[in-house]
Amino acid sequence: MNGVLEWIIFLSLSLVAIITAAGMLLTMSMYRAGLALMASFVALAGLFILLGADLLAAIQIMMNVGGMLVMVLFMVMMMMDPGGEMMWAMKRDMHLPGPGAFSMHMPWHKPPEEQPAQQETAASEWTCPMHPEVSQPGPGSCPKCSMSLIPRAEMTGEEASHGHGTDTPGEVYTCPMHPEVQQALPGTCPKCSMILIPIETPQPAQASESTVYNCPMHPEVQQTQPGKCPKCSMALIPAEKTMQSHEAQGQQGMSMDHVVSSEHMMYVETESDGTGSPGRMQHEHDMQVKPAGASDNADSMQIPDHNMPISAMGHSEHTMQMADHEMQMPGPVENDQTAQMGGHSMEMSHEMNMGGMTPRQHYQMMVDMAMSTAQLPWAIVLGALSAILLIVLIVLTPWPLAHAVPNQDATTAVGELLLSRYMIAFEGAAFLILTAIAGAVIFARRERALAQVELEQLQPVAAEAVGQEEYTCPMHPEVRQSQPGTCPKCSMSLIHVEKSSAASGDARGHEGHGEHGGHV
């Protein structure tokens, strides 16, 4: 083999090794990450063959390709999403930064502060999505199921929209990732086991005559009943032929607005460069309504794309005004919860451009989706430093074979030298990995401790605001007073209880909070 060819092979093999190693770090798919690592090791083995170390190359291939293969096998069998497609779709739908196929990394900036001012009234109470009786004044985890708590306002908003579902029978639950999953009861998605969210389809009883279902692929298929297309067995989607009066659709339109504003805000916001005002939004809606409103069935194709029933769109103006109205005087009005929620999320998103999520939640989601830890920059710096150190070592230390005579022992000497240096590099890498793991654990602990401290600082303030102490009967826990005395039922003397422990008591629930808020 002559020198030029050797150089070409060397350069291409090292290029492949480096590119595939980077690909392993960057790809969103577990399977591809395993394959990329395998390819990197094989390219390294090619370099060993080029250096005349055949045994080392063979061992490299056998150990690493075999090991990676087992790893890939278990990834494919055990992982929920080995191809990374779900993450990819999530990233695309939420307009998160970075190219789609690449894995997400930790957000660089600091976590934003908790929501100020206008959320205070709504979100000062946090509750468990599963156990509504749990309530506490700050974020945390549920004492019953250790799910993370959500603000009470979200909960009640959801409940209110559920309430709508009972009198409009068209409410279905769907997966945020798989819109084809639709069922009548809440639950989890069979594909990705995310929690299903409610959407409402316009099929009220009085409107069934004017509702036509057609296939997204075959516009000539039209039915008055929902079902599947006889040609391609896709689920039929509703298309309205006649628009209905404001009065008939007012209520539904409002709850529709909740869906629209919280889920499709992102769409509108990106179109309007983040400066979207309600008026601008309405403009966007109207633009979408026009082709569909012209009762052209083929145009209804664009509607399922945004999950937006046409009946709601015709009244976006109405609901927008309502949302505006509610924004000016926020407060939990029971009947207009959804409208209030709609206005609320809209307000947030046209400030933060995050579509229905507080910046804190958005940040938390970025952290959850990230495939690296916050210590990645440190790892990169350490890796680069150690690579430089190794190169310097190899260049500066005398190369013992520079003046060697090419005799029988020369290859053996090269092999031994290579083995020793390779082992140094290998063990150095292992040491770095161990350091990184230890560092990650330590940092993670510290972050958690900081979060704990924050939480503790938050809680006493809220508890003080509500009232520090109260008295209850040892026999009748439902008896509660703010002053010591005797139980009206059994006239035992009341005992003192801590406010925070009482907060998790299910006897009180939401109303109790409101009542005690009045004491202060």
Partner 1 sequence: MNTLITSLLVLAGLLVGVYAIAVLQQLLLLGPRQVGAAFQLPIAQALLLLHQEDVLPAGADFFLFRSAPFIALSVVALTALVLPLGPRLIGFDPSIGLFYFIVLLSPFVVAMMNAGWSQNAKVGLFATFRAAAYLISYEVPFGFAAIGPVMAAQSLSTERIVQSQAGLWYVVWQPLGLLIYLFAALFVTFRHPFDSAMAGSELEGGVFAEYSGPRLLLFKVALDALFLLLMGMGVVLFFGGWQGPFLPAPLWFVLKTFALAALVLWATRFVPRLRPDQILSLSWKILLPASLLNITLVGILTLLLTGGNP
Which residues of the chain form contacts with partner 1 (CB under 8 A)?
1, 31-32, 35, 38, 42, 54-55, 58, 61-62, 65-66, 69-70, 72-73, 76-77
Which lies closer to partner 1 via its Cβ, residue 65 or residue 376? Answer: 65
The nearest distance, CB 68 to partner 1, in angstroms, is: 8
Which lies closer to partner 1 via its Cβ, residue 75 or residue 473? Answer: 75
- Exposure string of 329-346, with b = 16+ CB inside 10 Å and e = fewer, is ebeeeeebbbbbbbbbbb
Which lies closer to partner 1 via its Cβ, residue 71 or residue 497? Answer: 71
The nearest distance, CB 5 to partner 1, in angstroms, is: 8
User: Could you report how far apart the first and last alpha carbons of the chain are, in Å?
Assistant: 89
Which lies closer to partner 1 via its Cβ, residue 206 or residue 412? Answer: 412
Do residues 292 and 202 lie in contact, with contact meaning Cβ atoms separated by under 8 Å? no
The nearest distance, CB 38 to partner 1, in angstroms, is: 7
The nearest distance, CB 29 to partner 1, in angstroms, is: 9
The nearest distance, CB 7 to partner 1, in angstroms, is: 15
d(CA 357, CA 119): 12
The nearest distance, CB 230 to partner 1, in angstroms, is: 22
* Element containing residue 470 per DSSP (H, E): strand 469-472
The nearest distance, CB 355 to partner 1, in angstroms, is: 28
Measured N-to-C along each axis, helices 30-50 and 3-26 cross at an angle, to the nearest 10 degrees, of 160
Q: 7: exposed, middle or buried (C-beta count within 10 Å: 0-12, 13-18, 19+)?
A: exposed
The nearest distance, CB 402 to partner 1, in angstroms, is: 25
d(CA 353, CA 347): 10
Grouping H, G, I as helix, E, B as strand and the rest as coil, residue 355 is coil
d(CA 281, CA 269): 8
Which lies closer to partner 1 via its Cβ, residue 65 or residue 352? Answer: 65
* Residues across the chain: 520
The nearest distance, CB 217 to partner 1, in angstroms, is: 15
The nearest distance, CB 49 to partner 1, in angstroms, is: 8
Going by C-alpha positions, the residue among 498, 494, 499, 500 that lies closest to residue 477 is: 494
The nearest distance, CB 54 to partner 1, in angstroms, is: 4
Which lies closer to partner 1 via its Cβ, residue 77 or residue 205? Answer: 77
Which lies closer to partner 1 via its Cβ, residue 31 or residue 213? Answer: 31
Q: Which residue has the tokens 């090419």?
A: 406
Do residues 494 and 473 lie in contact, with contact meaning Cβ atoms separated by under 8 Å? yes
Which lies closer to partner 1 via its Cβ, residue 178 or residue 360? Answer: 178
The nearest distance, CB 81 to partner 1, in angstroms, is: 14
d(CA 497, CA 500): 9
Which lies closer to partner 1 via its Cβ, residue 77 or residue 80? Answer: 77
Q: What are phi and psi of 505, to 5 degrees?
A: -65, 135
d(CA 209, CA 225): 10
Which lies closer to partner 1 via its Cβ, residue 29 or residue 244? Answer: 29
Which lies closer to partner 1 via its Cβ, residue 11 or residue 58? Answer: 58
Which lies closer to partner 1 via its Cβ, residue 72 or residue 357? Answer: 72
**H runs (alpha helix) in 94-243:** 120-123, 152-167
**H runs (alpha helix) in 140-210:** 152-167
Instruction: Specify which residues 136 forms β-bridges with.
Output: 126
CB count, 10 Å around CB of 157? 22
Which lies closer to partner 1 via its Cβ, residue 60 or residue 353? Answer: 60
d(CA 34, CA 57): 19
* Element containing residue 350 per DSSP (H, E): helix 337-352
Query: CA Rg, the chain, in Å?
Result: 31
Ramachandran region, residue 117 (left: φ > 0; alpha: ψ -120 to 50; beta: rest): left
The nearest distance, CB 187 to partner 1, in angstroms, is: 24
Edge to edge, what strands does the sheet with 126-127 contain? 135-136, 126-127, 150-151
Work out the angle at residue 28's Cα, subtended by the Cα atoms of residues 23 and 31, and round it to the nearest 5 degrees.
80
d(CA 31, CA 28): 9
